[in-house]
C-alpha cells in the first residue's frame, strides 16, 4: 500500500550538485514516489547565499541556518553536498541525533572520519549512504559492499579523478606538456582555478581510502594512503611509455598483500599497458578495475563528476534510504571486522621505469647494473642512447619493493657517471 504522508528531505548545499538533486526530485517526483512507496518532499534547503535565485526551489524553503534545519525532528533524510570537514561533520552528527538518516557526497570527510560517523549512525539506528563520494554516477560503493559482500576482493585499481585523466589523456594524444594540457582543462571547465586537490592526488587519495576500507573490511584513513601527484609527468615520460606499449594514468590502487595479512592504498602516476582496459579510458571519464577471488575481473566505467552524474548517485541513495525508512530497517553500515594493518609504501612491490642521464663512456652500464644487483632489484630491460659524451639510460625492472628501489636510486645518485635521475615511474597492470 502506498503511504500518503511524504518523507521529508533536507538538502544541505545547493551548488552544482545540490541544484541538480533538487531539480530531479521535482521533475521525477511521481517516479520517485512509485519507486519508494511514498512521496518525498523537499522540506528545506540550507545555503550560504540566500538572495541567489534558485530556479525551481520555493524561496520559503531556503535558509542559512543549516543546524536548525537538521534539528527540526520531522526530517527523514538529510542530503549533504556542501563538502569539506566542518560544518559538514557537525551537521551530519546532529542529523543522526535528531532522527534523520544521511546521504552524503563528501569524500574528504568520509576518508577522514568515516568510522566515527558510521558509529554515530549505528548508535541512532540510522543510515549513512555515500555512493556519490567516489566516481560520480558510476555504481561502485554499493556493488563493493553489497553485490560482492560474499566474495574476497584482492585489488581495486582505478582512475577516480576526471581532471587528471583529461590532462594526461591530452598529453598522450597531442604531445602537449603538462602546463599546456592543464590550461586546456581549465578553459573547458574540467579543472578548478586552483587544481591542487586534483593534480596533487588529494582527491583521489580520499577516494582510495574509502574504497580500501570497504573492499578489505578494514579501517583505512586518508593518512594511510600514499599520495604522489602528477605535476612532474612530462612529454618525455609519455614518449618512453609509448616505446613500451604503455600510456600513463594517475591511479588509485588498493590491494591485499599476497599473504593476505595486510593491505596497501596508494595514489600515483603509473605506466599501464595499452592492452589494459584502463588504458582506453579517455577524457574526463573515470573507471575502476576490481579483482576478486570468485567474480574475477570487473570494470566499472562512466562519468565520474559533474552535477547530473553525481546527483544521479545521490538520488539512488535517497531511494534506498527512504525504502529503509518505510520498512523500519537500515542498510549495511561499516564493515571493519578484518582490521588488517595498512602497510607503508616501502613494502609495496611493483615494476619500475627509471630514466637516467649518464656519461657516454665504457663501463657505465656495468656500474649501474651492479648497483641494482647490490640492492636486490632485478633488471628486465635496458635501453641506452647518447652522443657527445652524454647519454640516456632507461632501465625497466622486474617486481621490486619500493624500499629496495629507493635505496637503489640513492646509490645511483652517488655514481660519478650518473649525471641525474630524469624520472622514476611505476609500471602497473601487468
What's the whole-number average pLDDT of the chain? 95
Share of the chain above pLDDT 70, in %: 99
CA distance 180 to 171: 8
Q: Answer whether residue 387 shows pLDDT above 80.
A: no
Please tell me the predicted confidence (pLDDT) of residue 385. 81
Asked if 52 is an active-site residue, the reply is no
Using alpha carbons, list the distances in angstroms from residue 141 to 69, 162, 214: 28, 18, 8
* Mean pLDDT for the stretch of residues 244-258: 97
pLDDT 10s digits, 174-192: 999 999 999 999 999 889 9
Distances (CA, A) of 124 to 76, 95, 111, 117: 13, 10, 21, 11
Q: Which DSSP state fits 193?
A: S
Contacts of 422 (CB under 8 A, 6+ apart): 236, 355, 356, 357, 392
Q: Confidence class of residue 389 from pLDDT cuts 50, 70 and 90?
A: low
- 3-class state of residue 30 by DSSP: helix
Q: How remote is the C-alpha of 105 from its chain's centroid?
A: 12
Residue-level pLDDT at 384: 87
Q: What is the distance between the alpha carbons of residues 95 and 90, in angstroms, rounded to a whole number? A: 9
Pairing of the two strands 349-359 and 390-397? antiparallel
- Neighbouring CB atoms inside 10 A of 191's CB total 22
Q: Write out the E strands in 293-388.
A: 296-303, 349-359, 379-387
Q: What is the mean pLDDT of residues 46-51?
A: 92
pLDDT tens for each residue of 54-88: 888 999 999 999 999 999 999 999 999 999 999 99
Which pLDDT belongs to residue 56?
85
pLDDT in tens, 183-227: 999 999 889 999 999 999 999 999 999 999 999 999 999 999 999
51 burial via Cβ count (<10 Å: 0-12, 13-18, 19+): exposed
pLDDT digits (tens, 9 = 90+) for 6-46: 999 999 999 999 999 999 999 999 999 999 999 999 999 99
Question: Which pLDDT does position 391 carry in this prediction?
Answer: 87
Q: What is the pTM of this model?
A: 0.95
d(CA 376, CA 398): 10
Q: Which cell numbers in the block locate residue 208?
A: 582510495
Kindly tell me the burial class for residue 419, based on how many C-beta atoms sit within 10 Å of its own C-beta (0-12, 13-18, 19 or more): middle
CA distance linking residue 27 with residue 308, whole number of Å: 13
Burial (CB < 10 A; 0-12, 13-18, 19+), residue 325, is: buried
pLDDT above 70 (res 164)? yes
Mean pLDDT value of segment 292-306: 94
Residues above pLDDT 90, as percent of the chain: 90
- What are the C-alpha distances in Å from 80 to residues 192, 315, 406? 21, 12, 42
Pairing of strands 226-227, 62-63: unpaired
Closest CA to 89 of 67, 72, 69, 57: 67
Q: How far apart are CA 94 and CA 69, in angstroms?
A: 10
- The answer to whether residues 274 and 238 touch, using CB atoms and an 8 Å cutoff, is no
Q: What is the mean pLDDT of residues 346-374?
A: 94
Given 207, 242, 387, 414, which residue is catalytic? 207
Tell me: pLDDT of 2 over 80. Answer: no
DSSP-based three-state secondary structure for 130: coil
Amino acid at each position: 500500500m502506498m503511504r500518503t504522508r511524504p518523507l521529508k528531505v533536507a538538502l544541505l548545499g545547493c551548488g552544482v550538485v545540490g541544484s541538480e538533486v533538487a531539480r530531479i526530485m521535482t521533475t521525477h517526483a511521481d517516479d520517485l514516489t512509485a519507486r519508494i512507496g511514498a512521496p518525498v518532499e523537499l522540506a528545506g534547503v540550507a545555503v550560504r547565499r540566500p538572495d541567489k535565485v534558485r530556479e525551481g526551489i520555493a524561496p520559503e524553503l531556503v535558509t542559512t541556518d543549516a543546524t536548525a534545519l537538521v534539528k527540526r525532528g520531522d526530517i527523514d533524510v538529510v542530503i549533504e553536498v556542501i563538502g569539506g570537514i566542518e560544518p559538514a561533520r557537525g551537521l551530519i552528527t546532529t542529523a543522526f541525533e535528531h532522527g534523520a538518516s544521511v546521504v552524503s557526497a563528501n569524500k574528504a570527510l568520509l576518508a577522514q572520519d568515516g568510522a566515527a560517523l558510521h558509529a554515530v549512525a549505528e548508535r541512532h539506528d540510522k543510515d549513512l549512504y555515500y555512493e556519490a563520494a567516489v566516481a560520480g554516477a558510476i555504481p561502485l560503493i554499493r556493488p563493493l559492499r553489497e553485490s560482492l559482500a560474499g566474495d574476497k576482493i584482492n585489488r581495486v585499481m582505478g582512475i577516480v579523478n576526471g581532471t587528471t585523466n583529461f590532462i594526461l589523456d591530452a598529453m598522450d594524444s597531442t604531445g602537449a606538456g603538462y602546463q599546456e594540457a592543464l590550461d586546456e582543462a581549465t578553459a573547458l571547465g574540467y579543472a578548478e582555478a586552483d587544481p591542487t586537490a586534483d593534480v596533487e592526488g588529494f582527491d583521489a587519495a580520499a577516494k582510495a581510502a574509502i574504497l580500501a576500507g570497504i573492499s578489505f573490511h578494514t579501517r583505512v584513513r586518508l593518512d594511510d594512503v600514499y599520495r604522489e601527484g602528477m605535476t612532474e609527468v612530462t612529454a618525455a615520460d609519455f614518449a618512453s611509455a609509448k616505446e613500451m606499449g604503455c600510456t600513463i594514468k594517475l591511479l588509485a590502487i588498493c590491494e591485499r598483500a599476497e599473504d593476505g595479512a595486510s593491505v596497501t592504498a596508494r595514489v600515483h602516476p603509473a605506466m599501464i599497458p595499452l592492452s589494459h582496459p584502463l588504458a582506453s579510458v579517455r577524457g574526463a571519464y573515470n573507471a575502476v578495475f576490481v579483482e576478486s577471488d570468485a567474480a574475477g575481473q570487473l570494470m566499472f566505467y562512466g562519468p565520474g563528476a559533474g552535477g547530473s552524474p553525481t546527483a544521479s548517485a545521490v538520488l539512488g541513495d535517497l531511494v534506498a534510504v527512504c525504502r529503509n525508512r518505510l520498512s523500519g530497517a537500515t542498510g549495511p553500515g561499516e564493515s571493519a571486522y578484518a582490521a588488517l594493518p595498512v602497510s607503508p609504501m616501502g613494502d609495496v612491490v611493483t615494476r619500475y621505469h627509471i630514466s637516467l642521464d649518464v656519461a657516454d663512456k665504457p663501463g657505465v652500464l656495468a656500474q649501474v647494473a651492479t648497483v641494482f644487483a647490490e640492492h636486490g632489484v632485478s633488471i628486465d630491460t635496458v635501453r641506452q642512447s647518447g652522443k657527445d659524451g652524454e647519454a640516456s639510460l632507461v632501465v625497466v625492472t622486474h617486481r621490486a619493493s619500493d624500499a629496495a628501489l629507493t635505496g637503489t636510486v640513492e646509490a645511483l645518485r652517488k655514481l660519478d657517471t650518473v649525471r641525474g635521475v630524469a624520472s622514476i615511474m611505476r609500471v602497473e597492470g601487468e
